């Protein structure tokens, strides 16, 4: 393995895996998604936008492994009147090479003594989307060779066939299909729309094949021209018998193929022939013709280099050089994959300042995540959709790379927090509203600007009118719209990630925290679903069990944002955080330990979907609430005489909770829930009045909350040997709710309603999440180590592979807890090594100060240090989960599944930040800003006593360590720091940088920082 490069020999005989090309096509390119497997000629499906834009039919991973060698890319070569197919499974000497920006395979064909190499890469910065397939044939013989080759896609779909429709009625849909053949390309489309509707439309867009070679290819779009009547597509009869070029082709009423036939004469000894075939999508055939006119071999090979540079430019923001090159490459790959979920920020000047516009992101979905309907906007400046938790987490560390983002993400995600403390699930790409005079622009631009638009569509519209220069002018007269949609429920853990953003803001802007919390204002998103009161969701099932079902009701569509007098109502961020704390605190469970899963969804572990029905609660979320409440308390306490604004109804809830007297747990629970339910009832007709809340009242409330949550923490510790993650509750005493005629009232869920007066708590077996969140947020170093030792002695630790798993055995649990019980042990969320949670746990060890322990654990827990033959894929790429020893199939043990787009990349980058920069990059010393690096690096990471990394995406940071110390050793200290600008160098003989130089670092006005470590005895 080399830097940025994973190689797998005889790849078709190894464990199967699936992955994908990045789908990044540059700011002015059309993204194309492409999934591959280590079988056949790799590419298993590709297309534009989503599954409905498939160019090669989408199959889930288990089916793709079968079909890729049949309907995917195929190569037949004929030499000396003998024909073979390349890349057959039984052949040896096949190699797979995986890079950040491309993937390739090669095979040496002993019989002919030739090598064939195929490389796939996507097309950057063009008006069409294309998967480019570069084929190289090398002659190793002493004499020249004539080679005939048929190469391309055995089955290609035209534009306009949606995914579900093709699965259902593909035979019928052939009736619309047309293949248009020209000398330069074949254009695949439908002759008209396929819907059974009165309005019928023509289709201008299409898919295509275009081959660039030094000889003119013959395009084949009718599979019979190659295979005759062999519908198995096994034998290329007409290539074998030499009649291929004589075959007539049918261009309608069948699913076409996309092959190019070429006959190369006299390939000299040790010489090669190269051609590139492009398979893609274009919005109109004229755009394809225009593109082809400027395209030649030099052009397309330059595009391959451009694509590589595009990916390198993105990942260079984490350029790192340690003693472990594989780790350095791992950080880059983790950053790239993090971008694919969270996006890559651009700063766009808009009406009220600057907006961070994220490109390249999408909701995760691929061959193994076939359940997700991913979406890549097929436009310039492409952006995608994503889930609240995913996008928020994967933007957690962005300020460390792009400090110019400032509070953009905080304001956006805080705005999505509703007045009930919940949030919408789906986060859409942002749009813009033009506020200027549209009449001065041409019709197409005017039409676009009269409604919300995206920068990509704007750029393409302006390009069509040759008005590219107006792009910035229009944006500067526009405002940003945050977009979201309710989705399907309210997860209890979503609120916990907002504070991560704020803490990272404090890491970079400690001098601007007061302005952030008290001066920046955010609105209230309004979903069309609300959590119903207990009396409407506590039900008696047919087998006489009391459960919590039907927790949500939908209401008629409401305004997206809470408004007053037609204007969006906003309060300061500290007020939004207080709103969040109050709502979450009010639904502590009946024992006062965890936060109730009362919104129809659980917490982080989606597969515990049955817990809300069991009155489940999350201890992990309680730890996070405690941390949030403490944060708000400390920042309020440190501010003199600072009141802040709340919604009037929220302020009344605060006073109600503050006036509560401390009683037994169940009585406290009933009172809290009654206050909360009364508040929620008002939400249906929310008062838009706001009131000022005095500092004293807020501090009094927060102090009571913190006292209660400290008790909650101590209770949680007493529940089991290992801190629990999930609690369930059984109704021990209840009564049916009756109407005036003494008949049971049937709720909206269709079951009789009950009122519970007494619960009995039962914890689920140990999960890793509880300890991970506690160690990260609350534990002292000593306590963290004690918990670590306990965890390692339980089933949470896989002794065979020396890594962690989500939970101990769930064998004795009921299927009611959720689908994870139905999963096979060691698979998906059940008892597997779910890397997101494992990495969250490792981050906790690091934050708790267990540095030696952390560095010992990453040796067997970071995938980059795992054996690729066991892991079964590139160790530079994380997986969602690794099958543990709990799985009944020993062959799967240690193998990674579900590629890359995981929250583990966010945890990885958080660990990277802590390791290479420390917890806080900037601090306040005597109310003045200072830059104080505090890396936590083990001595083995230093190569020749030096480590290099990058700060803020462009500043090289060098740590010089001539004594060979761990930087976290008690006797290690920073002797001096040298800071370099273009025209000046400054040396600070101390452990920090102060004055104007500290601000220059934050504003990226320096290009290099050198930090010198020494040993205390030498001071």
pLDDT at residue number 39: 98
On the question of pLDDT at 597 being above 80, the answer is yes
Of 862, 884, 911, the residue at which a domain comes to its end is 911
For residue 511, what are the contacts with CB-CB under 8 A and spacing of at least 6? Answer: 922, 924, 929
Per-residue pLDDT reduced to its tens digit, 933-950:
999 999 999 999 999 999
pLDDT at residue number 197: 61
On the question of pLDDT at 199 being above 70, the answer is no
Residue 470 forms part of a structural domain: yes
Sort strands 1008-1015 and 955-960 into parallel, antiparallel or unpaired. parallel
Is the same domain home to 441 and 558? no
Which of 71-75, 279-283, 428-432 is predicted least confidently?
Answer: 428-432
Three-class SS of residue 408?
Answer: helix
Of 763, 790, 815, the residue at which a domain comes to its end is 763
Is the same domain home to 846 and 731? no
pLDDT at residue number 685: 80
Beta strands, E only, 99-158: 103-109, 114-122, 129-139, 145-153
Per-residue pLDDT reduced to its tens digit, 467-521:
999 999 999 999 999 999 999 889 999 999 999 999 999 999 999 999 999 999 9
Residue 311 forms part of a structural domain: yes
On the question of pLDDT at 766 being above 90, the answer is yes
Residue 883 forms part of a structural domain: yes
Residue 351 forms part of a structural domain: no
pLDDT at residue number 707: 98
Sort strands 114-122 and 129-139 into parallel, antiparallel or unpaired. antiparallel
On the question of pLDDT at 730 being above 60, the answer is yes
pLDDT at residue number 778: 85
Nearest C-alpha neighbor of 574 from the set 628, 621, 626, 622:
628
> Mean pLDDT throughout 704-709?
98
Is the same domain home to 262 and 189? yes
pLDDT at residue number 810: 98
pLDDT at residue number 212: 99
Residues pairing with 79 in the sheet:
82
On the question of pLDDT at 196 being above 90, the answer is no
Count of other CB atoms within 10 angstroms of residue 799: 10
Nearest C-alpha neighbor of 388 from the set 516, 530, 488:
488
pLDDT at residue number 1: 40
Domain range for 463 is 431-481
Is the same domain home to 423 and 448? no
How far, in Å, CA of 1017 to CA of 1019, rounded?
A: 6
pLDDT at residue number 91: 83
**What is the dihedral angle through the alpha carbons of 997, 1002, 1008, 1010, rounded to the nearest 10 degrees?**
70
How far, in Å, CA of 187 to CA of 71, rounded?
A: 19
How far, in Å, CA of 567 to CA of 535, rounded?
A: 35
pTM for this one?
0.96
pLDDT at residue number 684: 78
Is the same domain home to 455 and 576? no
Is the same domain home to 475 and 580? no
Which contacts (CB < 8 Å, 24+ apart) does range 740-743 have?
A: none
What is the arrangement of strands in the sheet containing 218-220, beginning at the earlier edge strand?
82-85, 73-79, 145-153, 258-267, 218-220
How far, in Å, CA of 909 to CA of 952, rounded?
A: 13
How far, in Å, CA of 869 to CA of 463, rounded?
A: 49
Query: How far, rounded to the nearest angstrom, does the alpha carbon of residue 785 sit from its chain's CA centroid?
Result: 31
For 183-245, the DSSP string reads SS-EEEEESS--SSSS-------EEEEEEE-SSPPEEE--THHHHTT-TT----HHHHTT-GG
For residue 635, what are the contacts with CB-CB under 8 A and spacing of at least 6? Answer: 513, 514, 517, 574
Nearest C-alpha neighbor of 39 from the set 60, 15, 4, 20:
15
Per-residue pLDDT reduced to its tens digit, 43-85:
999 999 999 999 999 999 999 999 999 999 999 999 999 999 9
Residue 186 forms part of a structural domain: yes
pLDDT at residue number 195: 63
Residue 654 forms part of a structural domain: yes
Is the same domain home to 803 and 946? no
> Mean pLDDT throughout 346-353?
96
pLDDT at residue number 2: 45
pLDDT at residue number 3: 60
Buried b (16+ CB within 10 A) or exposed e, 39-65: bbbbbbbbbbbbbbbbbbbbbbbeebb
CA-CA distances (angstroms) from residue 371 to 82, 368, 604? 45, 8, 18
Contact assessment for residue 361 and residue 383, using Cβ atoms and an 8 Å cutoff: yes
> Mean pLDDT throughout 256-280?
98
pLDDT at residue number 1019: 65
pLDDT at residue number 358: 97
Residue 960 forms part of a structural domain: yes
| Residue 723 backbone phi and psi in degrees, to 5 | -50, 125
Residue 489 forms part of a structural domain: yes
Count of other CB atoms within 10 angstroms of residue 732: 11
Is the same domain home to 468 and 613? no
pLDDT at residue number 165: 84
| Domains: count for the chain | 5
Q: To the nearest whole percent, how much of the chain has pLDDT over 70?
A: 98
> Mean pLDDT throughout 773-795?
96
On the question of pLDDT at 911 being above 70, the answer is yes
What sign does the dihedral 822-826-827-828 (CA atoms) show? positive
Three-class SS of residue 119?
Answer: strand
Is the same domain home to 972 and 1001? yes
Q: What is the CATH number of the domain that holds 100?
A: 2.70.98.40
Of 414, 447, 481, the residue at which a domain comes to its end is 481
On the question of pLDDT at 462 being above 90, the answer is yes
On the question of pLDDT at 88 being above 60, the answer is yes
On the question of pLDDT at 156 being above 70, the answer is yes
Q: How confident is the model at residue 201 (pLDDT cuts 50, 70, 90)?
A: low
On the question of pLDDT at 194 being above 80, the answer is no
Contact assessment for residue 290 and residue 210, using Cβ atoms and an 8 Å cutoff: no
Is the same domain home to 756 and 638? yes
Residues pairing with 731 in the sheet:
759
Is the same domain home to 38 and 105? yes
Is the same domain home to 270 and 208? yes
């Amino acid at each position: 393995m080399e830097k940025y490069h994973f190689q797998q020999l005889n790849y078709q005989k190894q464990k199967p895996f699936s992955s994908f090309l990045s789908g990044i096509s540059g700011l002015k390119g059309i993204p194309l998604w492409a999934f591959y497997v280590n079988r056949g000629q790799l590419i298993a499906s590709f297309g534009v936008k989503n599954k409905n834009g498939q160019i090669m039919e989408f199959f889930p991973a288990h089916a793709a492994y079968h079909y890729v060698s049949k309907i995917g890319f195929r190569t037949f070569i004929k030499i000396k009147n003998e024909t073979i197919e390349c890349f057959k499974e039984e052949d040896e000497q096949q190699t797979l090479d995986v890079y950040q920006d491309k993937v390739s395979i090669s095979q040496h064909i002993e019989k002919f003594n030739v090598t064939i190499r195929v490389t796939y890469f996507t097309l950057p910065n063009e008006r069409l989307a294309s998967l480019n397939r570069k084929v190289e044939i090398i002659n190793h013989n002493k004499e020249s060779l004539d080679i005939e080759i048929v190469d391309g896609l055995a089955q290609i779909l035209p534009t306009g066939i949606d995914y579900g429709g093709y699965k259902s009625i593909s035979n019928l849909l052939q009736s619309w299909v047309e293949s248009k053949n020209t000398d330069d390309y074949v254009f695949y489309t439908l002759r008209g729309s396929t819907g059974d509707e009165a309005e019928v439309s023509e289709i201008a867009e299409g898919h295509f094949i275009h081959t660039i070679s030094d000889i003119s290819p013959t395009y084949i779009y009718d599979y019979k021209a190659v295979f005759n009547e062999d519908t198995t597509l096994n034998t290329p009869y007409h290539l074998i018998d030499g009649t291929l070029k004589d075959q007539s082709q049918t261009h309608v009423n069948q699913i076409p193929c996309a092959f190019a036939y070429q006959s190369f004469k006299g390939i000299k000894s040790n010489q090669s022939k190269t051609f590139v075939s492009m398979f893609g999508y274009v919005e109109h055939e004229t755009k394809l013709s225009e593109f082809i006119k400027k395209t030649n071999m030099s052009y397309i090979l330059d595009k391959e280099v451009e694509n590589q540079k595009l990916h390198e430019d993105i990942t260079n923001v984490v350029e790192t050089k340690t003693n472990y090159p594989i780790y350095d490459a791992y950080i880059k790959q983790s950053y790239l994959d993090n971008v694919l979920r969270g996006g890559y920020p651009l700063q766009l000047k808009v009406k009220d300042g600057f907006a961070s516009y994220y490109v390249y992101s999408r909701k995760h979905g691929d061959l193994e995540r076939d359940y997700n309907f991913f979406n890549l906007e097929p436009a310039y400046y492409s952006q995608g959709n994503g889930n609240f938790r995913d996008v928020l987490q994967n933007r957690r560390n962005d300020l460390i790379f792009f400090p110019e983002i400032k509070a953009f993400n905080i304001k956006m995600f805080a705005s999505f927090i509703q007045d009930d403390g919940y949030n919408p699930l789906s986060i859409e790409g942002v749009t813009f509203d033009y506020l200027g005079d549209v009449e001065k622009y041409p019709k197409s631009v005017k039409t676009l600007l009269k409604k919300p638009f995206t920068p990509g569509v704007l750029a393409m519209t302006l390009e069509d009118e040759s008005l590219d220069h107006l792009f910035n002018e229009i944006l500067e007269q526009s405002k940003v719209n945050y977009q979201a949609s309710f989705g399907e429920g309210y997860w209890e853990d979503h609120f916990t990630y907002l504070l991560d953003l704020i803490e990272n803001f404090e890491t970079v802007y400690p001098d601007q925290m007061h302005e952030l919390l008290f001066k920046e204002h955010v609105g209230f998103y309004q979903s069309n679903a609300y959590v119903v009161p207990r009396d409407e969701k506590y039900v008696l099932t047919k087998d006489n069990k009391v459960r919590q079902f039907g927790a949500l009701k939908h209401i008629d569509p409401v305004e997206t944002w809470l408004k007053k007098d037609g204007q969006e109502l906003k309060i300061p961020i500290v007020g939004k955080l207080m709103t969040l704390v109050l709502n979450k605190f009010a639904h502590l469970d009946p024992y006062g330990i965890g936060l109730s899963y009362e919104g129809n969804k659980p917490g982080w572990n989606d597969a515990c979907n049955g817990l809300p029905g069991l009155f489940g609660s999350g201890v992990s979320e309680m730890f996070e609430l405690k941390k949030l409440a403490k944060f708000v308390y400390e920042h309020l306490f440190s501010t003199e005489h600072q009141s802040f604004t709340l919604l009037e109804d929220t302020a009344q809830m605060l006073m109600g909770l503050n006036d509560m007297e401390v009683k037994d747990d169940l009585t406290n629970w009933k009172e809290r829930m009654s206050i909360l339910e009364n508040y929620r009832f008002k939400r249906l007709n929310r008062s838009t009045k706001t009131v000022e809340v005095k500092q004293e009242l807020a501090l009094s409330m927060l102090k009571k909350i913190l006292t209660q949550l400290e008790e909650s923490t101590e209770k949680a510790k007493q529940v089991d040997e290992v801190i629990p993650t999930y609690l369930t509750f059984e109704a021990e005493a209840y009564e049916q709710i009756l109407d005036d005629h003494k008949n049971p009232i049937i709720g909206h869920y269709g079951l009789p309603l009950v009122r519970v007066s007494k619960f009995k708590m039962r914890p689920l077996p140990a999960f890793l999440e509880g300890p991970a969140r506690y160690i990260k947020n609350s534990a002292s170093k000593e306590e963290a180590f004690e918990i670590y030792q306990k965890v390692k002695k339980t089933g949470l630790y896989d002794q065979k592979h020396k890594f962690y798993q989500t939970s101990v055995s769930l064998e004795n649990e009921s299927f009611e807890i959720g689908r994870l019980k139905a999963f096979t042990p060691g698979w998906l969320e059940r008892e597997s090594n779910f890397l997101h949670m494992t990495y969250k746990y490792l981050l906790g060890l690091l934050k708790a100060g267990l540095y030696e322990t952390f560095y010992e654990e990453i040796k067997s827990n970071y995938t980059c240090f795992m054996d690729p033959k066991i892991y079964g894929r590139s160790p530079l790429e994380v997986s969602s989960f690794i099958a543990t020893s709990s799985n009944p199939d020993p062959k799967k043990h240690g193998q990674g599944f579900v590629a890359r787009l995981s929250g583990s990349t966010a945890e990885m980058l958080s660990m990277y930040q802590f390791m290479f920069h420390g917890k806080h990059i900037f601090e306040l010393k005597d109310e003045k800003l200072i830059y104080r690096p505090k890396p936590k690096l083990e001595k083995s990471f230093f190569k020749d006593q030096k480590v290099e990394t990058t700060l803020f995406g462009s500043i090289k940071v060098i740590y010089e360590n001539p004594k060979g110390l761990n930087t976290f050793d008690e006797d290690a200290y920073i002797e001096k720091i040298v800071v370099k600008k273009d025209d000046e160098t400054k040396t600070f003989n101390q452990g920090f940088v102060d004055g104007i130089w500290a601000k220059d670092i934050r504003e990226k006005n320096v290009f290099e920082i050198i930090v010198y470590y020494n040993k205390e005895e030498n001071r």
